[in-house]
């Protein structure tokens, strides 16, 4: 019975380790520049934890959302301005 319990715990631990590695891999894929010096391994968990601590301390997710919002607003404004300029140029050419 103890061997079966040990086997079940080993399988659970293996699945948990795979989930952690998958999360590291996903983060590394999403942020390649920030993670280029970090391995995707359990041994690197401390480095990932430190990055998370810095993100939380800097509150970067809130700033990232605001940056994207401003980028979208400015992009729309710039495209509209560019379109208006193209229309003026088109009329000038005619």
Domain boundaries, the chain: 1-58, 60-94
> Token digits for 94?
């005619």
Helix (H, G, I), strand (E, B) or coil at 1: coil
**pLDDT tens, residue order, the chain (94 aa):** 677 777 888 889 899 999 999 999 999 999 999 899 999 998 999 999 999 898 888 887 778 888 888 888 888 888 888 899 989 988 888 8
Cβ density class 74-86: b for 16+ within 10 Å, e for less: eeeeeeeeeeeee
Q: What's the pTM?
A: 0.56
């Amino acid at each position: 019975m103890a061997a079966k319990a040990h086997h079940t715990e080993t399988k659970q631990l293996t699945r948990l380790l795979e989930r952690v590695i998958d999360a590291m891999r996903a983060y590394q894929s999403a942020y390649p520049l920030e993670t280029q010096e970090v391995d995707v391994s359990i041994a690197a968990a401390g480095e990932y934890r430190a990055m998370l601590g810095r993100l939380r301390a800097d509150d970067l997710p809130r700033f990232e959302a605001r940056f994207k919002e401003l980028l979208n607003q400015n992009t729309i404004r710039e495209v509209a301005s560019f379109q208006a300029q193209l229309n003026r140029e088109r009329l000038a050419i005619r």
